[in-house]
Chains A and B, each alone.
Chain A
Amino acid sequence: MFVSRYRFTRLLGSLLLAVFLVACTPSGGSMVVPPASEEPEVLVLASHDSFSISEEVLAEFETANNADVQYLALGDAGEALNKMLLSKEAPLADVMFGVDNSFLSRALKSDLFISYASPQLEGIADDLKLDASNKLLPVDFGYINLNADREWFLAQEIPLPQSLADLVLPAYKGLLVVQNPATSSPGLSFLLATIAYFGEDWPNFWAELRANDVLVTSGWSEAYFSHFTVGSGGVGNRPLVVSYSTSPPADVLYAEDGREIPASVNVNPPGGTFRQIEFVGIVKGTKKLDLARDFVDFMLSPMFQEDIPLNMFVYPALASAKLPDLFLEFAEAPTDPAQIDPADIEQNREAWIEQWTGIMLH
């Protein structure tokens, strides 16, 4: 027995060594040797986890500029900005994409970015340009709104809610699921929309919403996939969810059952949606200023802009960019989103969230 154990040890030892050697070979398989004689210049793009771009679109930029774009995913939008702030002295990236209007003030105040008046800005609507100093340039925008289960409301013969105030009516008791603004970006956006819509009276609205059996989840995924009747495939029992105006197209694109019409439908209560604008900025201290500028121009060019919708499920900032059919048919954009100043958001975010938490708990 002893001898066999000893052999087993040696076997295990060599096995371990082999496994270690095989498994520890770094797997940087995506590095492609460039055809050009010159080494491609590396450009690091920091963003949130949802950044996405088609392979051939990025390849176009990389080939044209002999560049190797590396993407650093830094968590959700707020987390990514915090990490950039934390590493300001030794920047992690050359370009950062994904600061949104709710974090715009924090980003500008901290002097993290340098100005760049891209020639591409011309084609972009003025109301998206929230930073006059051009440190942060608008790339895309999306709307946080309500998604409703089309079939459910038809079957129950309940009309879709027409305004935020409707949500506290008895007819909508126990129908809505929202996200905690302290841990979820759409949750915060929806809270901001209600603050803009109800003004001073917003705490009352939430108290009534709570009495009307609103369900609060920690994040978007739980709300949409566990509780929303459409998203959960029948497991959830909430036919109304806080989501995006671009979720219905995704419901068709990722359906697998060949449905041509989304099972969910947008509810855009007047003044009760929130427009989230995402910005790109060149990080102060970059050693690749020219390439970083080229990349910003590229992000605002028609090619990248038209790639945005089906990759990130938001609308391109460039007015002339063509939208995919799915967007034209099912992602009708709200015409009058809530108006709220980024500086106000930065000033009051924490207090609002704390106040909201107090209302929902007591």
Chain B
Amino acid sequence: MWAAAPAVFLAVFYFFPLARIFWVSFEPGGVGDTGYAPDFSYWGRILEFTIRQSVVSTMATLATGLPIAWWIHHSSGSSKKWMLSLLTVPFVMPAVVVGAAFTALVGPNGLFNQFLMSLLSLEHPPLNLLHSFTLVVIAHLFYNVSVVVRIVSNFWDQLDSRQVAAASTLGAGTWSRLWSIEFPLLLPGLLSAALLVFLFCFSSFGLVLILGGLEFTTLEVEIYRQAVSFFNLRVATALSLLQLAVTFLVMNLHTRLQSESSRPGVLAMEPESERLTQMPRPLVRFLSIFMWLAILILLSPLIALLLRSVTLGHSLFSLQHFVGLFRNSVNNAFLASPATAIGNSLKYGLAAAASSLVLGLCMTFTVHCAPKRLGHLLDPLFLLPLGTSTVTLGLGYILAMGQMRTSAWLVPIAHSLIALPFVLRILLPTIRGLSPALKEASAVLGASPLLTWWRVELPLLVPALVVALVFAFLASLGEFGATLLVARPQHPTIPLMIFRALGRPGLANLGQALALSTILMVLSASSMLLLDHLPGVSREF
């Protein structure tokens, strides 16, 4: 029963367009039949680089995220909430803006180099990171560290603290406890985070294109090159299939690990975390400063962006670019004003969040109630949109949607498609963590299954639902690739407006893009802060 709505949704808006483009590309004598077939080494080279950069990026993200997660687990109060909220901001930033921010920071004339040059009185910039493997890894780290921090710190909070306490009583030191008790218990959560990060890096497009330069080609970048520049549809779709296959395998692994780790009862309703009371106060203070510094460095591209949005074209400070957003001077038949774009983003975000929440809830119950083997198949299948090339899907939409192509509904629909995997990832572990005893007790007391669902299960899901709602909203807010493919120019979103502003010369256009980016940051930070300040809301990602 639960399966019907998401099944129809995915069939119409995901599998059908994909099937259409695959069919057209491989059809003998069709447009895809160019007779061009690259040799084996070509596929190997691209796959090898895509996997290599994803593995390195994932390791770097884990190495950075784990100490922060450890700190967040052990700290409390508003500092914890602020850290979590700020770390999530990169999540909504379009690659084109982040690329520009990194260039402004670590480029030859960037802030870091200027600082180092004046500090060490050098004549030439010491750092040359632009278009390097290192920069691609750093950018992926910047984007994904919040995934690790959120998942791992949340997992940590929910561990049974009695085991740690017992080890402590038996004389185990901090390191010994960390290594032999907490680490093994954290492993499933850690792996889950690692696989998600791997997948995000695996399908990375804009950042690799902008920051990696010529040398580095991921599957997604090559799909774009083949489909858009060369119109070799067959090669492009073959690459998309390869990407889908790897995504499916990784997701399958991920769901298996997650279903292992979230058995009923593991989820504590009121997580208790061990505080830092045993540590000497100066050490706590030192660590706190150190962590804030680390987060500040992590977020420095955003800070650079923020500073530029109020200083561009001025020596000190000016809100001119922000005021400009609301000056109604657009005399254009098809272009909306930036203010309209802000409104659209909020509207589409709410619509996508609401619809993906409803569909995601249905999906979650489908996977949860299905037999184990089927569940292990369905779960990764529902997550596939996360690893699908937007270029390929966009071409599929052209073929499959016909006149619907111009509908204003397509944007929230596409956003829901992108947000659904997040919703599923947030809701599923929570549902699995619900103790069956509650359900049984309700049944024994005479409640019908429906009443049990409405009065027992759903209320217990509320915290997770709120988190899912916010993440779906953020996923929609920052979505760019799919929006560009389906949005009508009259109804742009903020990322689309930024993209358009950066398509024309002139400082006012750059200023507009910077101001809109800042607004995007503030919107996402404030919705995360709102979320983390709601009482009793879990932070499971």
Contact = CB atoms under 8 A, between A and B. Distances in A.
Interface of A: 2, 5-6, 8-9, 12, 16, 19-20, 22-24, 26-28, 30, 44, 49-59, 69-73, 75-76, 78-79, 82-83, 85-87, 90, 92, 106, 180, 182-183, 215-222, 224-227, 231-237, 243-244, 247, 250-251, 253-257, 264, 311, 313, 349-350, 353, 357, 360-361
A23 B502 contact: no
B333 A59 contact: yes
Nearest to B130: A215
B528 interface: no
A256 B507 contact: yes
B215 A86 contact: no
Contacts of B350: 19, 22-23
Contacts of A183: 209, 224-225, 229
A9 B504 contact: no
Contacts, number: 211
B210 A222 contact: yes
A79 B228 contact: yes
Given A236-B109, A360-B214, A87 B503 contact: no
Contacts of A220: 503
Interface stretch (B185-193, B256-264, B400-408): B400-408
Interface of B: 24, 31, 96, 99-100, 103-104, 107-110, 130-131, 209-210, 213-215, 224-225, 227-231, 233, 308, 312-313, 320, 324, 331-335, 344, 347-348, 350-351, 353-355, 357-358, 395, 398-399, 402, 405-409, 412, 455, 458-460, 462, 465-466, 469, 484-485, 488-491, 500, 502-511, 513
A235 B103 contact: yes
5 contacts: A49-B489, A225-B510, A235-B104, A254-B504, A360-B214
B357 to A, nearest CB: 7
A5 B462 contact: yes
A12 B361 CA distance: 14
Contacts of B357: 16
Contacts of B210: 217-219, 222
B459 A227 contact: no
A250 B259 CA distance: 57
Contact of A30 (B459, B490, B511): B490
Given A72-B405, A235-B110, A254 B509 contact: yes
Contacts of A16: 354, 357-358, 469
B324 to A, nearest CB: 7
B230 A86 contact: no
A213 to B, nearest CB: 10
B507 A23 contact: no
B100 A225 contact: yes
A64 to B, nearest CB: 15
A28 B408 contact: yes
Contacts of B405: 72, 92
Nearest to B502: A221
B214 A180 contact: yes
Nearest to A263: B507
A56 B331 CA distance: 8
Nearest to A21: B354
Contacts of A222: 96, 99-100, 103, 210
B351 A6 contact: no
A75 B484 contact: yes
B503 A257 contact: no
Contacts of A52: 332, 334-335
A5 B459 CA distance: 6
A253 B506 contact: yes
A20 B331 contact: no
A265 to B, nearest CB: 13
B104 A226 contact: yes
Contacts of B230: 349-350, 353
B507 A58 contact: no
B456 to A, nearest CB: 9
B160 to A, nearest CB: 22
B354 A19 contact: yes
Contacts of B465: 12
A227 B333 contact: no
